[in-house]
Structure 1
């Protein structure tokens, strides 16, 4: 089948995010408009400017990981493997019956094994007391923590994948980009099945300190459940979080032939860089708008076909303003008619992982006919004057969804998901 006609669909989803232990719990939280952000419990946050986070209640042993796997894998890798297992089981695909050379993995992560690297440093340096560290306390698995390529390799071993396997690290767009790259592998004929998604577990002192320094995270420490406030006039920064989402992606015809449930088709994807500033964004949203237009072109959908926009919605003033401008620039008058929301208001911002977690939310919105709300949106910002679905989920038919991401370094990515019968390729 030629690359031009190979359609790519999601047949399996696995999510680990704050507020739940799987995809079902994740969707229940979103559709109920509940928040899962809380005061940090993983370490003493007292020295930090921002002391709230989206922590996941993850039990590696309950997930079926062996003691050796838990010793070898960083927390983020554990999340990815657990999600991959769930996604494969959800898809009903028996990977053991497939040609392993036709199965690939595309995994995104912004900070990779940050948890284990910091823990190892603290052990070797006596919590930073000693300038000269003692290598006698070095973990034998230090290479696994140092090399990000180990992460997709672990997922590949789990899936029996011997095809194209890679890590994508584009900051906070990694979770969209990893899936977009996986889609292209199938379209181009390099693979028939891709296990794709992203993972990050950045709730560590060093990562918290990095965002403290640039004042990107919230100081609303007395209201952790209500600290993430995208598009709200009282917002003061994002809430750092952890999580992962993985998908089984297949060629549409093969998925239908085996009777698989299809959550959504990935119709279009594009990414752009603003070449402007490491953390700053232009007010006009030009680069994000261009990514949106290209993703729509690839999906062969008119902009008026979009039923829901899943915003990056980090809860920083410059991002919310930038996105609002990008939606108006790319969608025209339709930007005022289409509902927009940010699930970061409920699960926080898990850096590279969030793009995949948001793709999961989009596929589930199509599946259930529900648009998740923007929690904590009580005081609309006049600069952000679109329909941001405040507080309460909205029941409606959702056939085409636009999801976007924006990352430090200037990365801007967009993806269009559709119900298969709505596809511009049908």
Structure 2
């Protein structure tokens, strides 16, 4: 089996549109949550979100190409471009048939659909854009990355709701390990902060309504949490076989050493209250990595700031790690970014890589009132220095999809 390493990273996020900006925001405990201003929220229960700012698609891609992509595809291509530059990977010097793209989106081009539905209603069918369907379908982020950079290997858009990023990374890991590809561009993208999706989540009472305190709204594990905060962005990584990376002299950020996936088989939207699926995915990832529980140094939690979700994840961690659970730091990036939905796993994988590289665990902010059912070490409110070799990242999604990856700090090997 081939070893799989991470050689490039790129991000578009509510904390900034470069890895450096994103990481600085995390370690400084900054919140990327603000009032939504892209549309009128006066009638909405929740009026806040993790909005991507200072993103100019026309400046990046030109007016014509930008207009042919929904915002979620724009985010994905921009993050992929960053990641490829970070990896110093030239397609001219690479066998393109062995470069894949595994990038998904949970909701796809919903704003494009809304815009064209309005055109249909107001101006009739003759005025609906012929590019509506190709712009809105969830595989288009992967397709546009492949088209823009000329990759000709396997292309896939996993749709596992909010576990997409980890699913993409994990399945890419499997593809490269098997020898079927040398490189895979992997991650997720989302641009779902729209009038209709905000209304739906609001009516489901699943989003925070702490509208007057946006920066304090996302508070995973805190007793005062009242729901998640919608966010948008993209997190993309370049995965390579160790052999391929070494042959071209690539800088290696980290190694992917384990992946586990499972299904709750329980409910459309609710996590299993005992965290059974989460436990199974974490256990499988450990087994695939050939590790024992005591070898995990940090856990990047899914931790969306919902009551049952945070409780069930805590229960799953306790079930797997036993008495060790209270000693392992657990960090929740969504306390600062909000929930980037299908983009969350990719973004949080980048955060975990940086955490191990820099020896700093980002905090879980807004920890003010302890919840007796959530009683682990959540690195409250302030970043912490720590020596970490191996980290686990959890992602769980609607429908009971669970995906867990395990990353290892890379230390240059001496022949």
CA distance in 1, matches of 2:363, 2:102: 29
2:229 aligned residue:
239
Q: Select the residue among 49, 54, 60 that pairs with 2:56.
A: 60
CA distance in 2, matches of 1:146, 1:396: 43
- 1:331-381 Cα offsets, whole Å, 9 max, x none, are 111111010011100010011111111111111111111111101111111
State whether structure 2 residue 23 is matched by structure 1 residue 27: yes
State whether structure 2 residue 293 is matched by structure 1 residue 298: no
CA distance in 1, matches of 2:57, 2:272: 46
Instruction: Check whether the contact 1:60–1:78 (CA below 8 A) recurs between aligned residues.
Output: no
Q: Secondary structure at the match of 2:354?
A: helix
The answer to which of 179-188 and 231-240 deviates more is: 179-188
Q: Select the residue among 230, 245, 250 that pairs with 1:260.
A: 250
How far the C-alpha of 1:189 sits from its partner, in A, is 1.4
How far the C-alpha of 1:61 sits from its partner, in A, is 4.1
Q: Select the residue among 241, 245, 256 that pairs with 1:251.
A: 241
Q: TM-score, normalised by structure 2?
A: 0.97
Counterparts of 1:5-404 in structure 2, within 5 Å, are: 6-61=2-57, 64-126=60-122, 134-404=124-394
Instruction: Check whether the contact 2:262–2:401 (CA below 8 A) recurs between aligned residues.
Output: yes
CA distance in 2, matches of 1:79, 1:301: 35
How far the C-alpha of 1:98 sits from its partner, in A, is 1.0
Q: Secondary structure at the match of 1:11?
A: strand
- 1:132-158 Cα offsets, whole Å, 9 max, x none, are x61232123212224323321110122
CA distance in 1, matches of 2:227, 2:269: 13
How far the C-alpha of 1:259 sits from its partner, in A, is 2.4
CA distance in 2, matches of 1:302, 1:51: 44
CA distance in 2, matches of 1:135, 1:235: 45
Instruction: Check whether the contact 1:244–1:357 (CA below 8 A) recurs between aligned residues.
Output: yes
Moved over 6 A (4+): none
CA distance in 2, matches of 1:78, 1:91: 20
The answer to which of 135-144 and 360-369 deviates more is: 135-144
- 1:41-91 Cα offsets, whole Å, 9 max, x none, are 111111111111000014234752111111100000000000000000000
CA distance in 1, matches of 2:231, 2:139: 22
- 1:214-237 Cα offsets, whole Å, 9 max, x none, are 110001111011110100000000
Cα 1:422–1:334 change in 2 (3 A) is farther
Cα 1:37–1:330 change in 2 (3 A) is same
How far the C-alpha of 1:244 sits from its partner, in A, is 0.3
Q: Secondary structure at the match of 2:157?
A: strand
1:129 aligned residue:
none
The answer to which of 372-381 and 56-65 deviates more is: 56-65
Instruction: Check whether the contact 2:104–2:141 (CA below 8 A) recurs between aligned residues.
Output: no
Q: TM-score, normalised by structure 1?
A: 0.94
Aligned alpha-carbon RMSD (Å):
1.5
How far the C-alpha of 1:418 sits from its partner, in A, is 0.5
Tell me how many residue pairs correspond in the alignment.
413
Instruction: Check whether the contact 1:9–1:262 (CA below 8 A) recurs between aligned residues.
Output: yes
Cα 1:62–1:261 change in 2 (3 A) is farther
Gaps of 5+ in 2: none
CA distance in 1, matches of 2:27, 2:58: 26
Q: Secondary structure at the match of 2:61?
A: coil
2:407 aligned residue:
417
The answer to which of 252-261 and 38-47 deviates more is: 252-261
Q: Secondary structure at the match of 1:168?
A: coil
Instruction: Check whether the contact 2:99–2:153 (CA below 8 A) recurs between aligned residues.
Output: yes
CA distance in 2, matches of 1:211, 1:406: 17
Instruction: Check whether the contact 1:110–1:200 (CA below 8 A) recurs between aligned residues.
Output: yes
Gaps of 5+ in 1: 127-132
